Amino acid sequence: MPMDAAWIPSLMIILAAGCLAAALAGRQEGGSSPTQRVRRLLHRRGTSGREDGAKEKVKPERRLLQLVGKCFHALRISRHLETELDRADVPLRGEEFVALACLAAFGGGLAGLAVSRSLIAAAATALLGGTAPFLLLWRARSARLTRFNERLADALALITGGLRAGFPFVQTLDMVQREIPGPVGREFGRTFQEIQLGTPTDEALADLAARVRSQELDLVVTAVLIQREVGGNLAEVLDNIAATIRERLQIKREIRALTAQGRLSGWIVGLLPLAVAAFLLLVNPGYLEPLVTTPGGRLALVLAGGSEVAGALLIRRIVTFEV
């Protein structure tokens, strides 16, 4: 399909108009409770602390993201992404991540257009570039959750030791922050800071569980909340939960090893059609044009996409086990 030279300026005008509309939409932000302001303050402190270490390396790129991200500051999705980025330990704000995805999509589209001179290839590479940051975010969040669960039992051992030594429970959270590096120390330290700034302990622990979204941590938080209501030996309860968490992690490792072949087969089967299509677009861009220019081709494209999604979900269902 021939490409009109006026298409690129028109696309840039549309993109600029969308950014302006996003900046003007929802400009007024409602009030928030003191607890929400405390959490937002701690999130900004944590983000700023992670940014300082990498400031020298990414300074020009970060400045570009901040400039483009101002267009998306008012969007609700950018505020939702703040939590997801925090769960993944990605030192970006929500609007900056949206800007990164838009720039990746725009750059991917231009790259596909320059290489193949085809709108199909441009749309495909733009879609790939726009979804890549979200896939990487999901992967980083999963990896962080795995690291958190692996060190949670060590944190519980430190807490039970502190409780038996006579320290209050809140003080043991600070011990975890200082002694255990990684996401476990940061999350427990953030909870400790929330409590120190006036947030009720029950609410801070519930916020910790909602922020991390770990089944193992849910067991810990539930046990602590019940103990605060009815009393009991918290150290012994946490010892039992730590043993349960270690057993669950061992079972998950065994299941992951047994299903490795099935997961690899799923990746190969799912990515092979996309790789073949990308190769054909580069070698002969006009070969796949009937898929979007004829009714039968569009129907085949929809059926193929649906089959891809259904196959991926089926394979995921087969190799996923609840522990």
- Both tokens of 239, joined, read 């010892």
Instruction: Judge whether residue 38 has pLDDT over 60.
Output: no
Domain boundaries defined on the chain? 145-243, 259-323
Instruction: Judge whether residue 31 has pLDDT over 50.
Output: no
Contact assessment for residue 94 and residue 85, using Cβ atoms and an 8 Å cutoff: yes
- Both tokens of 138, joined, read 């999901």
Q: Between the CA of residue 35 and those of 66, 74, 118, 133, 196, what are the distances in Å?
A: 27, 21, 52, 31, 12
Higher pLDDT, 116 or 165: 165
Q: Residue 97 belongs to what H/E stretch?
A: helix 94-116
Contact assessment for residue 228 and residue 274, using Cβ atoms and an 8 Å cutoff: no
Higher pLDDT, 44 or 91: 91
Q: Which of 55-64, 80-89, 128-137, 255-264 has the lowest mean pLDDT?
A: 55-64
- Maximum CA pair distance of the chain? 77
**Collapsed DSSP state (helix, strand, coil) of residue 261:** helix
Residue 64: per-residue pLDDT: 64
Residue 14: per-residue pLDDT: 47
Whole-model pTM over 0.85: no
Percentages of the chain per state (helix, strand, coil), in multiples of 5: 85, 0, 15
- In this predicted model, what pLDDT tens digit does every residue of 231-265 receive, in sequence order? 888 899 999 999 999 998 899 888 888 888 888 88
Type of residue at 266: G
Q: CA geometry: angle at 183 spanning 210 and 133, to 5°?
A: 80
**What phi-psi label fits residue 180: left (phi over 0), alpha (psi between -120 and 50 degrees) or beta?**
beta
Higher pLDDT, 71 or 182: 182
Higher pLDDT, 302 or 72: 302
Q: How far apart are the C-alpha atoms of 264 and 262, rounded to whole Å?
A: 5
Q: How far apart are the C-alpha atoms of 208 and 170, rounded to whole Å?
A: 14
Over residues 309-319, the mean pLDDT reads 82
Highest mean pLDDT among 65-69, 225-229, 305-309: 225-229
User: The tokens 């940014």 sit on which residue?
Assistant: 51
Contact assessment for residue 73 and residue 95, using Cβ atoms and an 8 Å cutoff: yes
Q: Which of 1-10, 24-33, 273-282 has the lowest mean pLDDT?
A: 24-33
- In this predicted model, what pLDDT tens digit does every residue of 121-145 receive, in sequence order? 778 788 888 888 898 998 999 999 9
Q: CA geometry: angle at 235 spanning 229 and 238, to 5°?
A: 85
**Collapsed DSSP state (helix, strand, coil) of residue 292:** helix
Q: Residue 91 belongs to what H/E stretch?
A: none
Instruction: Judge whether residue 72 has pLDDT over 50.
Output: yes
Type of residue at 16: A
Q: Where residue 186 falls among pLDDT bands split at 50, 70, 90?
A: very high
Task: Report how far apart the first and last C-alpha atoms of the chain are (Å, whole number).
Answer: 52
Q: Within 10 Å of residue 9's Cβ, how many Cβ atoms? A: 9
The class (CATH top level) of 145-243 is: mainly alpha
Q: Where residue 76 falls among pLDDT bands split at 50, 70, 90?
A: low
Q: Where residue 22 falls among pLDDT bands split at 50, 70, 90?
A: very low
Residue 187: per-residue pLDDT: 92
For 55-69, the three-class secondary structure string (H helix, E strand, C coil) is: HHHHHHHHHHHHHHH
Q: How far apart are the C-alpha atoms of 125 and 281, rounded to whole Å?
A: 11
Over residues 60-76, the mean pLDDT reads 63
Q: Between the CA of residue 208 and those of 20, 187, 240, 272, what are the distances in Å?
A: 36, 7, 21, 40
Q: How far apart are the C-alpha atoms of 47 and 97, rounded to whole Å?
A: 13
Instruction: Please give the share of the chain, as a percent, with pLDDT higher than 90.
Output: 22
Q: How far apart are the C-alpha atoms of 97 and 82, rounded to whole Å?
A: 9
